Amino acid sequence: MREGKLGLIGVCAALLLGVGVLSAVPASAGGPPLKGSFGERMELRKSPQSTPDVAFKTREGERVTLADFEGEVLVLNFWATWCAPCVEEMPTLEALHTDMRDAGVHVLAVSQDRGGMDAVGPFLKNRVDVPELPIYLDSDGKLARAFDVRAMPTTFVLDAEGRVIGNVTGPLDWNSDNVQAFLRHYADKAEGNGG
């Protein structure tokens, strides 16, 4: 009986050690640790991947590409007005943007609504209050297809060279300390490289 209890204690200790190790998974060699819900859900690339050169639009209808944001760490969020989890996380994306824009981190909330600003404008006015969140449009879905987005929300993190570091599928509290520490690492790294 005593050996059974000791064995059970050993198994529990091993599980707790495993959970502790997994809760602080390094992003990559030399990368910051990933912690909490963000760490559990972030799907990291083994090495940063280049991004497609696909145009999308600003609220005002101006064509832009990801290359227009070179030198900034990007949080590229794909969302839609009909997506309840997208709406749930939008205030945290806005808070992240306002807290970190001066640190070289830029949030791009890219709507997948086919109706463009005709659909998005009334939604922003009547359903969610995020006046500081940079809204972009991908009404034809080309950018989402280029990133192989299969569910919304899906959010990609890009380094200052425009390469995908990783992504999260589903809603998240984007303004957590863990997310900010992760993004700040890449922003500081870019600043240290003169970029």
Q: Rounded to two decimals, what is the model's pTM?
A: 0.82
- Alpha carbon separation from 56 to 62, 110, 144 (Å, rounded): 8, 8, 10
pLDDT digits (tens, 9 = 90+) for 65-74: 999 999 999 9
For residue 52, give the H/E element and its range.
Answer: none
- pLDDT confidence of residue 169: 97
- pLDDT confidence of residue 101: 95
Sorted by sequence, the CB contacts under 8 Å of residue 166 that are 6+ apart come out as 27, 42, 43, 44, 45, 156, 157
Tens place of pLDDT per residue across the chain (195 aa): 555 544 444 444 444 434 443 333 444 445 677 778 888 899 999 888 999 999 999 999 999 999 999 999 999 999 999 999 999 999 999 999 999 999 999 999 999 999 999 999 999 999 999 999 999 999 999 999 999 999 999 999 999 999 999 999 999 999 999 999 999 999 998 877 555
Report how far residue 51's alpha carbon sits from residue 83's, in angstroms, rounded to the nearest whole number.
25
CATH of domain 2-192: 3.40.30.10
Label residues 87-123 b or e (16+ Cβ within 10 Å = b). Answer: bebbbbbbbbbeebeeebbbbbbbbbbeebbebbeeb
Domain ranges of the chain: 2-192
- pLDDT confidence of residue 30: 52
